[in-house]
């Protein structure tokens, strides 16, 4: 009989190395490599086709109906999942500690149980009394929810196999589960992978939906091997700043619905309550007569969302200006600052730049370039933008403003909230018919970023000619000052 061998596995990314090292070469994490024991496996099949059975192949064309869904009764949660819970599906939910993962899942599980379905909640981090106290605070103490506190996977699997008519099982969290056939500690890559695989196999075979709660690393990514995200049907991130009352449930993977869909919640004493109109909430405390502010008309999944972008410029006391960003990509900010200075003549190199997306929402789409540029130009010239105008559009390195998707949905959301003007990219003549502009909304098509800066700054900014090294060719008139509208 072959003896078990040892290997060294990074607990951050799952990379395997032949020997121990202080730093993982794959993810650059320090002190994350742990020795794990690997049981000897049988050799490969000696001859093709021996010991197996044929796989049936069917035509691609056929009759397939959408899977039936069971709504939780929380519209924002159902929106992210694509309409509700699908039987035998597996959902992985991640988020920072204390952000509200256990709270939202306890609320969702209790709602489903009060609808007459059998729901089981297994906690590996908290005792039963702690979960009961949370349910009492949330007003869910009378929900017919099956509750257990366990971490041994063998006991959990035996208990689930003895249950009948189970619709949903919540495991909080997968990092606390352990399998006694492995020598590694709970939370290691081997334990997380093996426990998740066994629970997923049971959920698929018995037909109940499974929700796994996962920890996140300090970078915000789900802890454990990336293969765990490939094993599940949906991956949801619960985001938000602890200083803000808003929480964002974002779907980054969904085999039964749209990706990048979001649900907005507000943390209260009675738990998480859904926000039906997040745009009005993000703009509730906005002041329109302050420089350095612009409203971005964005789209998250299928939902248009309006959010305020704030910029602040201050003289840099040292030789290296600071760039601080909250809610946006810092690399894209550096690119936009270079475009504003080179193509539009704004002097920003010697100033500290602070950029913030109000409300705790994180923006990832490039359509926010025009709104960020408007906020920066307003802060640099100390002139407020039009309080009744929204901005959206992608900015290229030459300063041109490019079209983005779902422009009509953005304009409809702006008109619904009372905005009367919109700055958007110029639509090329080759695109055919123009956009459907809502009544009462004036659309200003921006062809070049210099047009936007000129409108905000007026005549206070001169188009500066960038310095060139000796022997270089002179720039074209468009590169010097941008083309006219």
19-35: pLDDT as tens digits: 888 988 888 888 888 88
pLDDT at position 421 is: 95
Q: pTM of the entire structure?
A: 0.74
Which residue ranges in the chain fall short of pLDDT 70? 1-5, 37-51, 217-226, 429-433, 459-485
The pLDDT tens digits of the residues spanning 402-446 come to 999 999 999 999 999 999 999 999 887 655 567 788 999 999 999
Q: What is the pLDDT of residue 224?
A: 60
- Residue range 281-428+437-457, CATH number: 3.30.230.10
Give the residue extent of every domain in the chain.
Answer: 5-38, 69-276, 281-428+437-457
pLDDT (0 to 100) of residue 50: 53
Q: Which CATH number among 3.40.50.300, 3.40.50.10190, 3.90.79.10, 3.40.47.10 corresponds to the domain 69-276?
A: 3.40.50.300
> Which pLDDT score is estimated for 453?
94
In the 3-class helix/strand/coil scheme, how is the chain assigned residue by residue?
CCCCEEEEEECCCCCEECCCCCECCCCCCECCEEEEEECCCCCCCCCCCCCCCCCCCCCCCCCCCCCCEECCCCHHHHHHHCCCEECCCEEEEEECCCCCHHHHHHHHHHHHHHCCCEEEEEECCCCHHHHHHHHHHCCCCCCCCEEEECCEHHHHHHHHHHCCCEEEEEEECHHHCECCCCCCCCCCHHHHHHHHHHHHHHHHHHCCEEEEEECECCCCCECCCCHHHHHCCEEEEEECCCCCCEEEEEEEEECCCCCCCEEEEEEECCEEEECCCHHHHHCCCCCCCCCCEEEEEEEECCEEEEEEEEEEEEECCCCCCCEEEECCCHHHHHHHHHHHHHHHCCCCCCEEEEEEECCCCCCCCHHHHHHHHHHHHHHHHCCCCCCCEEECCEECCCCEEECCCCHHHHHHHHHHCCCCEEEEECCCHHHCCCCCCCCCCEEEEECEHHHHHHHHHCCCCCCCCCCCCCCCCCCCHHHHHCCCC
**Are 69-276 and 281-428+437-457 in the same CATH fold?**
no
């Amino acid at each position: 009989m072959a003896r078990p061998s040892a290997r060294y596995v990074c607990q951050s990314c799952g990379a395997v190395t032949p020997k121990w090292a202080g730093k993982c070469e794959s993810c650059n994490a320090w002190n994350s490599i742990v020795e794990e024991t690997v049981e000897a496996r049988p050799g490969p099949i000696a001859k093709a086709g021996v010991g197996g059975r044929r796989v049936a192949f069917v035509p691609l064309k056929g009759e397939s109906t959408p899977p039936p869904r069971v709504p939780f009764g929380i519209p924002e949660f159902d929106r992210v999942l694509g309409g509700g819970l699908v039987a035998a599906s597996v959902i992985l939910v991640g988020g920072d500690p204390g952000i509200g993962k256990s709270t939202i899942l306890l609320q969702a599980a209790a709602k489903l149980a009060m609808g007459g379905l059998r729901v089981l909640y297994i906690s590996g981090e908290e005792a039963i009394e702690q979960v009961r106290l949370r349910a009492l605070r949330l007003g869910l103490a009378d929900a017919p929810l099956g509750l257990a506190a366990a971490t041994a996977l063998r006991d959990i699997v035996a208990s689930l196999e003895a249950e009948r008519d189970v619709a949903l099982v919540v495991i909080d969290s997968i990092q606390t589960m352990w399998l006694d056939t492995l020598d590694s500690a709970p939370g290691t890559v081997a334990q997380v992978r093996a426990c998740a695989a066994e629970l997923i196999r049971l959920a698929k075979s018995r037909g109940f939906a499974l929700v796994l709660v996962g920890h996140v690393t300090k970078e915000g990514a789900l802890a454990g091997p990336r293969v765990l995200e490939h094993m599940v049907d949906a991956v949801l991130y619960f985001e938000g700043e602890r200083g803000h009352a808003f929480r964002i449930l974002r779907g980054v993977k969904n085999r039964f619905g749209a990706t990048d869909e979001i649900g907005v919640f507000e943390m209260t004493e009675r738990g998480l309550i859904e926000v039906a109109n997040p745009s009005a909430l993000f703009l509730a405390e906005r002041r329109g007569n302050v420089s350095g502010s612009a409203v971005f008309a964005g789209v998250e999944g299928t939902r248009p969302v309006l959010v305020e972008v704030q910029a602040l410029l201050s003289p840099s006391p040292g030789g290296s200006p600071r760039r601080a960003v909250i809610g946006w990509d810092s690399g894209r900010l550096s690119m936009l600052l270079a475009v504003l200075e080179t193509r539009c003549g704004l002097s920003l190199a010697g100033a500290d730049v602070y950029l913030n997306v109000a409300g705790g929402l994180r923006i990832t789409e490039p359509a926010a370039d025009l709104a960020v540029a408007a906020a920066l130009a307003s802060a640099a010239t100390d002139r407020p933008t039009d309080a009744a105008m929204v901005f959206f559009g992608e900015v290229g390195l030459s300063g041109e403003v490019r079209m983005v998707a779902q422009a009509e949905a953005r304009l409809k959301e702006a008109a619904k909230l009372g905005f009367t003007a919109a700055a958007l990219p110029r639509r090329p003549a080759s695109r055919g018919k123009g956009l459907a502009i809502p009544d009462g909304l004036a659309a200003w098509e921006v062809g070049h970023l210099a047009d936007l800066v000129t409108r905000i700054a007026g005549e206070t900014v001169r188009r500066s000619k960038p310095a060139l090294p000796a022997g270089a060719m002179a720039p074209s008139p468009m590169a010097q000052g941008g083309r006219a509208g």
